[in-house]
Amino acid sequence: MKHFFGKYGLDPAAVPRHIAIIMDGNGRWAKRRRLSRIEGHRHAAKAVRETVETCAELGVKCLTLYAFSVENWSRPKREVDTLMRLLRRFIREETPKILKNKIRFRAIGRNKPLPPEVIRDLRELERKTAQNDGLTVVLAVNYGSRSEIVDAARRCATRVRRGELSLREINETTFGDFLYTRGLPDPDLLIRTSGEYRISNFLLWQASYAELWVTPVLWPDFRRRHLIEALKEYGRRERRFGGVTSS
């Protein structure tokens, strides 16, 4: 690992615990090549593999990937159906490598209206990897941050109604325990590909103090060198969390 850091000029102390990525640009990637949008989604798998491998090598604790949003159901049915098939294929093909590398898998988002077979595959991979102690890979599927916060508020209100939680006990920490990401550190670095400057309903609560890094690179073209570029920029920033510098 020391050789790896030295090769890319990275400071091990500056590597974020948690990286979150908005994987954007599959459709534009395909359009530029006069291919179908579905081909863009197919080619995106290589970017996912290389990003996961690099994060694991660097000792990143958590990687969250925005795979499918609650808004994506508005896309053509053929495209959505293909995305679900590609997701299942990816899980099937990558499971041996995930287990070998001690990666812990977790899916976040609303189960409904995901196909039952997709839910089953996601939960099965979570079960198989629950005891792994390597990189945690979080896949946001049928995810929307506003939906997540609403679901958390409902669960919190239910606990209060049952007398299991008092209003006085509700604070940022206790409320965070009702989010899908319970038990995970907040993201330190939020990456968005394709050059769009918005966070698209992704981790609104958790990314309050995340460093943002936007690249024009479309997701299917995203490789290790781009991630290293983001990490170098992250290492140059001073994170003050609302405070001031000591100088």
In the set 11, 26, 72, 111, the catalytic residue is 72
pLDDT tens, position by position, for the chain (247 residues)?
Answer: 555 676 778 888 889 999 999 999 999 999 999 999 999 999 999 999 999 999 999 999 999 999 999 999 999 999 999 999 999 999 999 999 999 999 999 999 999 899 999 999 999 999 999 999 999 999 999 999 999 999 999 999 999 999 999 999 999 999 999 999 999 999 999 999 999 999 999 999 999 999 999 999 999 999 999 999 999 999 998 776 666 565 5
Q: Which one of 11, 24, 132, 221 is the catalytic residue?
A: 24
Taken in order of first residue, the domains within the chain and their CATH numbers are 17-144+187-233 (3.40.1180.10)
Q: Please tell me the pTM assigned to this model.
A: 0.93
The reply to whether 72 belongs to the active site is: yes
Among this protein's residues, is 171 annotated catalytic?
no
In three state form, how does the secondary structure of the chain look? CHHHHHHHCCCHHHCCCEEEEECCCHHHHHHHCCCCHHHHHHHHHHHHHHHHHHHHHHCCCEEEEEEEEHHHHHCCHHHHHHHHHHHHHHHHHHHHHHHHCCCEEEEECCCCCCCHHHHHHHHHHHHHHCCCCCCEEEEEEEECHHHHHHHHHHHHHHHHHCCCCCHHHCCHHHHHCCCCCCCCCCCCEEEECCCCCCCCCCCCCCCCCCEEEECCCCHHHCCHHHHHHHHHHHHHCCCCCCCCCCC
